[in-house]
Structures are given as C-alpha cells and as structure tokens.
Amino acid sequence: MNKTPNKPKAALTLSSFFSAADILVNQSAAGRDALIRKMLERLSDRHKLGDIESYFRAIIERESSSDTVLSRGIALPHARIDDIDKPYVEVATSAQGIAFAENKQPVNLILLVLIPSDQPGFYLQIIRAMTSILRDPGTSKKLAGMSSPEEVMRFFERGGLVLPDYVCAADIMDSSFDSLRNNDNLKSAIDAFIAKNLSEIPVLDNDGDMVGVVSVNSLLKVCLPEYLLWMSDLSPIINFEPFTDVLRKEQSSSLSDILVNDFPAVQMSDPAISVAGEFTRRNCSACYVLNDKKLVGVIDLPLFLNKIFRE
C-alpha cells in the first residue's frame, strides 16, 4: 500500500498576522504613549479584544523596563496577554519619526504585537524574521514614505518575512562578553573576577576557538587542595596560608592551572530548548554559544529566563 507523502508545513509569514486594515500610515509625532494607545484601540475595534487599559499598561511597563527600539528606525512594542489565543499585530509608519526612547533616534516603523502568554518565542521569531529589514538601513524610512496601507502591506507580502520554526540559541544569546586568552596568567583571571564582578570567564585560543572556562570555584580549588577539604574544621588555618603560594605565583602561573575544558555549550542554530537542557543537566549558571568552535555568545540563566518567560 502506497503511503501519501506528508506535505511540507507551509511557512508562517509575518504578514499573515495583519492586513492593510491593521496599518496606520503617516502618523504625526504625537508621542509614543499616544500612538500605542491609538494602535491598541484600532486592534480592539476590529478584533473585539478585551481590557485595552491593561494591555496598554503592560506595554508601557515593558517599554519602561527595557525599550523595544531596534536598530534601523524600528520599534516593536509588545506585551504578553493572558486572555488572547493568537498573536495580534498592528503596524504604524511615521515619516517625521516618533520618539520611543531617550537617547535614541526617532523610529519610522512601529510593529505593536500582542502575544498569548503561552507562546513565549513569538516575539523572538518576529525579530529573526525581520533580519532582512534590519540589514538595510533605509527600509524603515522607505516604508514611512509610502502613502497608503495597501502599499505598506504589499511590501511585507513581497518581502515574505518568514517566521522561523523555532527559537534558536543565537536568538537569545548576548553577543557582548568578556573573555581571556589561553596564554594569559592567573593574575589576569583574578583581576577580571574582581574588577568585573564575574564568577566565570570563557577562555579562547588565538583563533577565537573556545578551549575552556575559568571560574572562581576552580580558583578556590587550587587555593584549597582536596586534602584540606577533607578536614571538617579549617579554623586552625587562620591566615589564609593555603592562598600564599598562589599569590606568590599568580603572574607566572598559567590559566591551565584552573582551566576547565568540559563546559556547557550549544551551537548557535540549536533550539533554545537545548540551552534549558544544558542548564538542567549541568546545574550551571551560563551556557556558551558556539559557531563550530568559535565563541559567539553567552546565555546566562537570568537572560534565558527573561527571554523565554518575560520577553
């Protein structure tokens, strides 16, 4: 008996969540809050949504804690909502620009998104779908110059901004991080722990490949050898005598003395759930994101929780 092959799942596009009726063009500089309220009221009128005031407060609270202005003149105000079962999107453009955050340029393209509380990755999927727009610095102003909602809608439909099937590690990582080189000395690590209030630092070789991590815990294990830890009472050692040898040699000692080369890591294209797996299996506080062997980002536990449960 011949089996009918499964049809490939149709790609989900950003434009499938709104229509020309959900687009406001040529908005004046009335201000961020006034524009957000106006966009919410339009969504409510057409889609019979619930408590717009609570939605408004949720969005403004989100903007106050961390603004949603992206590069290239785009803002994505959003909130997670309990009483909706699908995402809603409202789009606005402004040729003169709307001020959305202090010390940032006004934005010309605004996508307001209401996300069901049980769909944690949707906002991150939108950002990845908009990568092509973010790459072109003139796109938001080009859209802001369009005179009708239909013209803006055609742009999004032509662009085919496809939402990825899943949130990957690269979507939630912090690409700004501190690191050490494998030929650095122990003093470099101690200085970094203290000056930058870090408990763990990735170590790279000269090619940028990650070779391990150094941590405060591994440093203390060097200072307090295992035979001392078998002692139930360390009070006779009152003057940090075990630390003396380390202090004498910190400039001549290599990081290899405290380097741990078994560390939690995922590839940048791995699903974000893989990061959760690393946190759980290893009981760690940070997971490293690699492109093959090169370190490209770090995901610490607070960042992960924020991205998945609050972003």
- CATH number of the structural domain spanning residue 296: 3.10.580.10
Q: 22 and 156 in one domain?
A: yes
Do 152 and 195 sit in the same domain of this protein?
no
Q: What is the pLDDT of residue 101?
A: 87
Residue at 170 is within a domain: no
Please give the residue range of the domain that contains residue 74.
Answer: 14-165
62 in any annotated domain: yes
Report the pLDDT value the prediction gives residue 245, as an integer from 0 to 100: 64
Verdict on whether the full-model pTM lies above 0.95:
no
Residue 226 within a domain: yes
Give me the CATH number covering residue 32. Answer: 3.40.930.10
Q: Share the mean pLDDT of the chain.
A: 85
The helix (H) or strand (E) run that includes residue 76 is none
**8 A C-beta contact, residue 121 and residue 166:** yes
Final residue in a domain of this structure, among 119, 134, 165: 165
6 inside domain: no
What pLDDT is recorded for position 243? 56
- Residues 89 and 215 grouped into a single domain: no
Q: How much of the chain is helix, strand and coil, in % rounded to 5?
A: 40, 20, 35
Position 66 pLDDT exceeds 90: no
Give the pLDDT confidence of 239-287 residue by residue, as tens digits: 555 556 666 677 777 888 789 999 999 999 999 999 999 999 999 989 9
Whether the pLDDT of residue 173 is over 50: the answer is yes
Q: Is the same domain home to 255 and 148?
A: no
How many domains does the chain contain in total?
Answer: 2
Dihedral of alpha carbons 102, 90, 161, 290, sign: positive
